[in-house]
Amino acid sequence: MGTLFKKIIDRELPADIVYEDELCMAFKDIHPQAPIHLLVIPKKEIPSLANISDEDKMLIGHIMLKVADIAQSAGLEKNGYRVITNIGTHGGQVVPHLHFHILGGERLGPLNSSMNSL
Ligand code: AMP
């Protein structure tokens, strides 16, 4: 696939990385939609949540645990935060490499058209 997130994983593109292990990586979104906006991605190239399979069970579970850990490390646990994954064209997905947005740091609005820019 060779998406720009793959280039970030391979250190061919710079990113503000806040967490990394053998399975996943988290970095700051380049166009933040909230005071804190992080992206958590698997290192495995999976286009979206619609493309996971049985063999990814452990990986997805690992990433969900890390999403919570990373949000806590970012100071978001007390007041809460939002986790979003966009899927395909109608979902507003721009980068075809599975990623989970972590958004927080302020009270977020309802999930309506104001979120369409994500
Ligand atoms: P999505 O619309 O769900 O595919 O989200 C893709 C996200 O990647 C957007 O929020 C972009 O701002 C973000 N993004 C694009 N390029 C970069 C980059 N080089 N570093 C960090 N975030 C990026």
Q: Which domain holds residue 48?
A: 4-117
Instruction: Indicate which CATH number applies to the domain containing 95.
Output: 3.30.428.10
Read off the pLDDT of residues 26-50 as tens digits, 9 standing for 90 and up. 999 999 999 999 999 999 999 999 9
**Domains identified in the chain, total number:** 1
If we measure between CA atoms, which residue out of 74, 70, 87 comes closest to residue 21? 70
Pocket mutation for ligand 1, best pick of 1, 4, 28, 100 (most atoms within 8 Å of C-beta): 4
Q: Does residue 31 carry a catalytic annotation?
A: no
For 50-72, give the DSSP string: GG--GGGHHHHHHHHHHHHHHHH
Instruction: For ligand 1, pick from 6, 9, 28, 30 the residue to mutate: most ligand atoms within 8 Å of CB.
Output: 30
Positions in the chain short of pLDDT 50: none
**Given CA atoms 26, 101, 51, 87 in this order, what sign does their dihedral have?**
negative
The whole model's pTM is what?
0.96
**Going edge to edge, which strands form the sheet with 81-84?**
17-20, 24-28, 36-42, 100-104, 81-84
Q: Beta-strand (E) ranges in 1-118?
A: 17-20, 24-28, 36-42, 81-84, 100-104
pLDDT tens per residue, range 44-57: 999 999 999 999 99
